[in-house]
């Protein structure tokens, strides 16, 4: 019972909001409540004790899958067009995912899916080309847990998922090209039509002229022909210093050649890849290729 106020002697309920008592109802728990303009709060499950409604707890949103991306963003990231234009192309059936035409807005694809735009396969990032002048002591690998790797040296070059073309041994030096352009990778790894690399090699002893000529003319190891583009003695150097141009992208081919003729390799330095050179690129530094350099590589 509330305390009486004023001289009228009439009781005034502290929670009623009326000057005169109204017909009271008693809940099963003995508590009083009243109807107001807002409705019967006693039957509102979110209403407690006549106070303000209790807010429902927010349902946490489902975390997005980092391996998935909206199809329109995938297309936009490839550099073909904007997201808005991508939606238009999707709606008219110009885009396929794993061979199936997709017209659904907001459709998500995985990064490993095959996405084609007007029949041509695309990637969710622009083609990127990074040239590194590798120092000694770094392994040519994309694997983690291998100590210092060439990926550490180009970590800040781009967010694109680039990888090295070919290999240079941990103690080898020189130019190494990174890209996410699969067509360029295939071009380099084609031993017949690939891109030649020029190496400066130091041997443990002078290269005999007879061995020089055999390497120059091509020779067979276990029935397989080993052919080089060019071989020469370095001008101004000793007969231990050799220049050798070859299309094979592996570092092991150099050891295969000179092991066959009983020479040990002391130093390897890749000084050119196609028309790319180390000019203005200090050891341990990288640069992005210019459009001219990219087009020249593609035409080789």
User: Model confidence at 4, in pLDDT bands (50, 70, 90)?
Assistant: very low
CATH of domain 68-122: 3.10.290.10
* 217, two tokens: 């003319």
Neighbouring C-beta atoms of residue 181, cutoff 10 Å: 19
User: Model confidence at 20, in pLDDT bands (50, 70, 90)?
Assistant: very low
Q: What is the pLDDT of residue 10?
A: 44
Residues 6+ apart with CB under 8 A from 240: 202, 203, 204, 205, 206, 207, 266
pTM of the entire predicted model: 0.65
CB of 202 within 8 A of CB of 238? no
Residue 207 and residue 258: Cα distance in Å, rounded? 9
User: Model confidence at 8, in pLDDT bands (50, 70, 90)?
Assistant: very low
Q: Residue 40 to residues 29, 32, 132: CA-CA distances in angstroms?
A: 16, 12, 75
Range list of H helices, 43-97? 71-77, 83-91
H or E segment at 177?
strand 173-179
**pLDDT exceeds 90 at position 31:** no
From 165, 172, 145, select the one nearest 274 (Cα to Cα): 165
Residue 74 and residue 96: Cα distance in Å, rounded? 12
Residue 197 and residue 270: Cα distance in Å, rounded? 7
**Which string of b and e fits 7-27 if b means at least 16 CB within 10 Å?**
eeeeebbeebeeeeeeeeeee
CATH class of the 125-300 domain in this structure: alpha beta
Q: What is the pLDDT of residue 54?
A: 58
Residue 159 and residue 50: Cα distance in Å, rounded? 57
Q: What is the pLDDT of residue 257?
A: 95
Instruction: Write out the DSSP string of 239-278.
Output: TTEEEEEE----SHHHHHHHHHTT--EEEEEEEEETTEE-
From 170, 80, 183, 82, select the one nearest 129 (Cα to Cα): 183
User: Higher model confidence: residue 282 or residue 194?
Assistant: 282
Of the given ranges (1-5, 118-122, 166-170, 294-298), which has the lowest mean pLDDT? 1-5
Q: What is the mean pLDDT of residues 274-293?
A: 95
From 133, 198, 146, 141, select the one nearest 166 (Cα to Cα): 141
From 153, 164, 169, select the one nearest 284 (Cα to Cα): 153
**pLDDT exceeds 90 at position 59:** no
**CATH 3.30.2350.10 spans which residues of the chain?**
125-300
Residues 6+ apart with CB under 8 A from 167: 140, 249, 250, 251, 252
**CATH 3.10.290.10 spans which residues of the chain?**
68-122
Interhelix angle 182-189/291-299, rounded to 10 degrees, is 50
From 120, 112, 117, 85, select the one nearest 102 (Cα to Cα): 117
């Amino acid at each position: 019972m509330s305390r009486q106020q004023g001289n009228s002697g009439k009781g005034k309920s502290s929670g009623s909001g009326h000057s005169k008592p109204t017909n009271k109802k008693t809940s099963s728990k003995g508590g009083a409540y009243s109807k107001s303009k807002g409705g019967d709060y006693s039957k509102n499950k979110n209403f407690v004790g006549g106070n303000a409604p209790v807010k429902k707890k927010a349902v946490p949103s489902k975390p997005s899958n980092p391996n998935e991306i909206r199809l329109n963003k995938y297309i936009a990231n490839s550099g073909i067009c904007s997201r808005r234009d991508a939606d238009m192309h999707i709606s008219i059936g110009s885009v396929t995912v794993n061979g199936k035409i997709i017209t659904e807005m907001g459709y998500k694809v995985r990064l490993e899916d095959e996405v084609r735009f007007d029949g041509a396969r695309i990637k969710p990032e622009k083609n990127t080309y990074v040239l590194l002048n590798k120092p000694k002591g770094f392994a040519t690998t994309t694997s983690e847990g291998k100590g210092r790797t060439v990926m550490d040296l180009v970590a800040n070059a781009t967010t694109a998922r680039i990888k090295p073309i070919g290999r240079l041994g941990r103690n080898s030096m020189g130019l190494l090209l990174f890209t996410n352009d699969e067509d360029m990778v295939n071009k380099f790894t084609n031993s017949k039509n690939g891109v030649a690399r020029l190496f400066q090699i130091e041997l443990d002893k002078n290269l005999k002229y007879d061995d020089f000529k055999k390497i120059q003319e091509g020779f067979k190891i276990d029935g397989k022909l080993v052919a080089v583009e060019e071989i020469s003695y370095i001008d101004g150097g000793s007969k231990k210093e050799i220049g050798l141009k070859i299309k094979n992208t592996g570092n092991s081919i150099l050891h295969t050649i000179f092991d066959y003729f009983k020479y040990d390799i002391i130093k390897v330095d890749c000084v050119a890849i196609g028309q790319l050179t180390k000019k203005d690129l200090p050891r341990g530094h990288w640069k992005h290729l210019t459009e001219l350099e990219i087009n020249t590589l593609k035409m080789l």
